[in-house]
Amino acid sequence: MRSFILTFVVGYVVASMMNWGIAEFLLNDWAAPQLGGFLRAGDDAASGASIIKLTFGFMVPLLVIAIFQEFMVKPASWAARATLIAVLVSAAAFYGTYTFISGYGNVTLWPLMGFAAADTFCMVIGALVIGFLRQWESSQLRQELPR
């Protein structure tokens, strides 16, 4: 359990920091004018409650991805498995949620789809990090076992 938590935390940090960089340096300036004040800005964006919500909102899908990776055995390749699971979970989590927000909040869809694509990309990277670490760890354990 300890190694699962450790690999999840490493994958989360990599995916989260990548996601923050993409949003901050590539997407926010492009999307903000199209979203008509929907994005938080200034002190409101950096409030403690906002940071906690953003953290858990990005953590939960990656945790689901990590759990699925533990129990799925196909596809046989750890990289294919990580990518497939990340794309499926991200499609449900981000594209579904952002499409709903677009309809419910009367917000332009295309900028939200840009965020969904970036979130999905970062989830795939995080899943690959987790998958690689878990695969590497299991190969190390197999080498240590007496033959």
Domain map of the chain by residue range? 2-141
pLDDT tens per residue, range 103-125: 888 888 898 999 999 999 999 99
Distance, CA of 134 to CA of 117 (rounded, Å): 26
pLDDT tens per residue, range 24-65: 899 888 888 887 767 666 666 667 777 888 889 999 999 999
Nearby residues of 114 by Cβ (< 8 Å), 6 or more positions away: 27, 30, 31
Distance, CA of 10 to CA of 22 (rounded, Å): 18
Around Cβ 52, how many Cβ atoms within 10 Å? 10
Question: Which pTM value belongs to this model?
Answer: 0.86
Looking at residue 123, what is its pLDDT? 98
